[in-house]
Chains A and B, each alone.
Chain A
Amino acid sequence: MKKLKKHNPSRIAAGSTRKSVKRYGALFLLPTVLAFIIGFVWPFVWGIYLSFFRFRTLRFTSFTGLDNYKSALSDSAFFRSLGFTSAFTVVSVLVINLVAFFIAYALTRGIRGEGGFRTIFFMPNLIGGIVLGYIWKIILDAVIIEYLGSALALNATYGFWGLVLLVSWQQIGYMMIIYVAGLQNIPGEYVEAARIDGASSWQLLRHITLPSIMPSVTICTFLSLTNGFKLFDQNLALTDGKPFRETEMVALNIYKSFYESTTNMGVGQAKAVIFFIIVVVIALSQLYFTRRKEVQA
């Protein structure tokens, strides 16, 4: 057997393909790797490096050790933006996923017009954050001014719920598509077997449907969580942090520490590193916790 394997012609061919492919490395790999270094690796490394420097322009930088991090961590606006972002993310993840799951669940039972409804719910996804923000700003402002006697830029509570509404409108359709795919992948026998055993609709949902779509839940919570934390365009277009930076999210706060700071841009870079670490920790722990709940089908 062993001897046969050794002389297997396809094995030899595979080896020689690999070798001959390798010679083409410069052509296949180099363009992407070069661009990747310019567009990601170098800016990333340089960004970490710069977070230890004090600078207004890149011509005059001076090493300050951890001072930028100290300033970042004692900046109350930064902390408020972290709090606002966390509250926003928790609320929007819950709203998006519950509504998206409900819609997906209802639109996979063969009711009339299913496909059309899905098409409509998904549509807002294709509109960019800036345009979305502007559409909702016009509409929410009209409603708030008319019926509540305030304005989006004057009241942080309206700003918060306005953002939740906007992001839900944008992302529910996206998550719905993922849940629909998950629901359609549940083997029919599972449902049938449970029905024969006399399971009620609620038991079916609780013990068959939900466990089987845990992979979709993992993906959707991961996406809505990281989207929520990284939100920028919508925040800029809808409230721009108004009133008094109360609706400023972390990404916008960092942006403003860079481009509206006249003293030291290093603080902005230090905030960015802190932000990066938070996002990585959240993403990894979320993946870890929901992965544990997935069942091996």
Chain B
Amino acid sequence: MNNRSLSGRLLTAFFALLSAAWVAPVIVVLYNSFKTNDGIKSSLFSLPTADTFAGLDNFIKGITFGGYPFYNSVFYSLVITVLSVALILLCTSMAAWYISRVDSFLCRVVYYLCIFSMVVPFQMVMFTLSNTADRLSLNTPYTIPIIYLGFGAGLAVFLFTGFVKSIPLDVEEAAAIDGCTPLQTFFLVDVPIMKSTFISVGILQIMWIWNDYLLPYLVLDKTVYKTIPIHIQYLQGSYGQVDYGATMALIILCLLPIVIIYFLCQKHIIKGVLSGAVKG
């Protein structure tokens, strides 16, 4: 028993070290965001000193850096993510319910096409999709959610259908006998039962859309609309002079809300990941 607790302690010590190494990259970026550019260039890994401490300068500079206000990026990323996820949750849950309740030939075709779409790499439809989006004017943050609904439907329909199949029909029949229309049955009876699936699917889609780079990059007019990933890539790539301090400050600003949300809804996020992983 003594031996076992010793090995337990050793393991804890080992994982404490490993965890420290795991967060180190983020910590390095964090304290460098408070250093002057000279301080960053001369030695990335040393902590800020009196000479190299820049206070909040990098953050103030970062907000307007690259000739594009950072809060605009945050705004467009938020608009796209919120609208897309709301649309996906509403439409695909209804579609999934219909598919598993009616189960006609057409429904099966749609269902298997959805599963198929999950394997197809984005490069396959990259060019034609961005052209289609242009032609149908789905190229603004307010209309791009329709593209996300189409391209993200696969996983969402698959997960919702899996869950709807486990809802006993009796409940719905009781509602129908009491005079509910299918619409009422769905929203008043099924949606409350499906609450946890809504959260899981929602989290998976948020993680995808919030971080997505290529789709908005190809579809949106980049001079007007830059999402956060587009903005960060732009600062690194084509923008003439690279300002490490300002860019690191922006990275910290990106990470902050993600980390806070993660610690607040960790349970839901992990559950969402697990339900998403059942595919295959």
Taking CB atoms and an 8 Å cut-off, the chain A residues in 122-173 that contact chain B are: 122-131, 134-139, 142, 169
Chain B nearest Cβ from A52, distance in angstroms: 13
Instruction: Tell me if A78 is interfacial: C-beta within 8 Å of chain B.
Output: no
Q: Is B26 a contact of A135 with CB atoms below 8 Å? A: yes
**Of B110, B124, B128, B254, the contact of A131 (CB 8 Å cutoff):** B254
Residue numbers in B under 8 Å from A36 (CB-CB): 110, 113-114, 117, 149-150, 153
Instruction: Tell me if A174 is interfacial: C-beta within 8 Å of chain B.
Output: yes
Query: In the complex, A181→B270 CA distance in Å?
Result: 10
Chain B, interface residues (CB within 8 Å), range: 35 or more
Closest chain A residue to B176 by CB distance? A17
Chain A nearest Cβ from B121, distance in angstroms: 5
Instruction: Tell me if A24 is interfacial: C-beta within 8 Å of chain B.
Output: yes
Binds A, one of B48-56, B57-65, B166-174, B194-202: B166-174
**Of A28, A106, A119, A138, the contact of B97 (CB 8 Å cutoff):** A28
Instruction: Tell me if B224 is interfacial: C-beta within 8 Å of chain A.
Output: no
Binds B, one of A38-46, A64-72, A90-98, A202-210: A38-46
Residue numbers in B under 8 Å from A39 (CB-CB): 129, 146-151, 153
Q: Mark B218-257, 1 if CB is under 8 A from A, else 0.
A: 0000000000110011001100000010011001001100
Residue numbers in B under 8 Å from A40 (CB-CB): 113, 117, 120, 125, 129, 150-151, 153-154
Instruction: Tell me if A199 is interfacial: C-beta within 8 Å of chain B.
Output: no
Q: Is B22 a contact of A38 with CB atoms below 8 Å? A: no
Given A113-B12, A272-B123; A134-B232 close (CB under 8 Å) = yes
Query: In the complex, A74→B117 CA distance in Å?
Result: 29
Q: Is B102 a contact of A18 with CB atoms below 8 Å? A: yes
Chain A nearest Cβ from B225, distance in angstroms: 16
Q: Is A233 a contact of B213 with CB atoms below 8 Å? A: yes
Query: In the complex, A199→B271 CA distance in Å?
Result: 33
Instruction: Tell me if A47 is interfacial: C-beta within 8 Å of chain B.
Output: yes
Q: Is B95 a contact of A29 with CB atoms below 8 Å? A: yes
Q: Is B147 a contact of A38 with CB atoms below 8 Å? A: yes
Query: In the complex, A290→B170 CA distance in Å?
Result: 38
Query: In the complex, A284→B149 CA distance in Å?
Result: 26
Q: How many residues of A contact B (CB 8 A)?
A: 95
Q: Is A138 a contact of B244 with CB atoms below 8 Å? A: yes
Closest chain B residue to A120 by CB distance? B19
Q: Is A24 a contact of B182 with CB atoms below 8 Å? A: yes
**Of B25, B98, B150, B247, the contact of A28 (CB 8 Å cutoff):** B98
Residue numbers in B under 8 Å from A101 (CB-CB): none
Q: Mark B137-154, 1 if CB is under 8 A from A, else 0.
A: 010000000111111011
Q: Is B270 a contact of A122 with CB atoms below 8 Å? A: yes
Q: Is A123 a contact of B23 with CB atoms below 8 Å? A: yes
Q: Is B127 a contact of A269 with CB atoms below 8 Å? A: yes
**Of B173, B185, B211, the contact of A129 (CB 8 Å cutoff):** B211
Residue numbers in A under 8 Å from B207 (CB-CB): 125-126
Query: In the complex, A18→B244 CA distance in Å?
Result: 61
Chain B nearest Cβ from A204, distance in angstroms: 15
Q: Is B136 a contact of A38 with CB atoms below 8 Å? A: yes
**Of A29, A47, A121, A226, the contact of B125 (CB 8 Å cutoff):** A47
Instruction: Tell me if B71 is interfacial: C-beta within 8 Å of chain A.
Output: no
Residue numbers in B under 8 Å from A237 (CB-CB): 233, 236
Q: Is B150 a contact of A177 with CB atoms below 8 Å? A: no
Given A43-B132, A111-B12, A233-B213; A27-B94 close (CB under 8 Å) = yes
Query: In the complex, A268→B270 CA distance in Å?
Result: 38
Q: Is A111 a contact of B15 with CB atoms below 8 Å? A: yes
Given A36-B114, A37-B150, A276-B121; A287-B280 close (CB under 8 Å) = yes
Query: In the complex, A140→B126 CA distance in Å?
Result: 31
Q: Is B146 a contact of A38 with CB atoms below 8 Å? A: yes
Query: In the complex, A119→B94 CA distance in Å?
Result: 34
Taking CB atoms and an 8 Å cut-off, the chain B residues in 15-31 that contact chain A are: 15-16, 18-19, 22-23, 25-26, 28-29
Chain B nearest Cβ from A293, distance in angstroms: 14
**Of B102, B127, B214, B232, the contact of A47 (CB 8 Å cutoff):** B127
Instruction: Tell me if B72 is interfacial: C-beta within 8 Å of chain A.
Output: no
Given A275-B123, A283-B119; A32-B157 close (CB under 8 Å) = yes
Given A17-B176, A44-B124; A232-B214 close (CB under 8 Å) = yes
Chain A nearest Cβ from B63, distance in angstroms: 17
Residue numbers in A under 8 Å from B170 (CB-CB): 10
Residue numbers in B under 8 Å from A88 (CB-CB): none
Residue numbers in A under 8 Å from B188 (CB-CB): none
Query: In the complex, A19→B3 CA distance in Å?
Result: 67
Q: Which 7 pairs from chain A and chain B are nearest by CB?
A: A39-B150, A128-B211, A28-B98, A32-B95, A43-B125, A35-B150, A142-B44
Chain A residues with CB under 8 Å of chain B are 10, 13-14, 16-18, 20-25, 27-29, 31-33, 35-44, 46-47, 50, 58, 103, 106-107, 109-113, 116-117, 119-131, 134-139, 142, 169, 174, 177-178, 181, 218-219, 222-223, 226, 229-230, 232-233, 236-237, 240, 250-251, 254-255, 258, 265, 268-269, 272-273, 275-276, 279-280, 283, 287
- 21 A-B interface contacts by CB (under 8 A): A13-B177, A17-B176, A28-B186, A32-B153, A36-B110, A36-B113, A38-B146, A39-B150, A41-B113, A44-B128, A119-B263, A120-B22, A123-B262, A126-B258, A130-B229, A134-B236, A177-B273, A219-B279, A232-B122, A255-B126, A276-B124
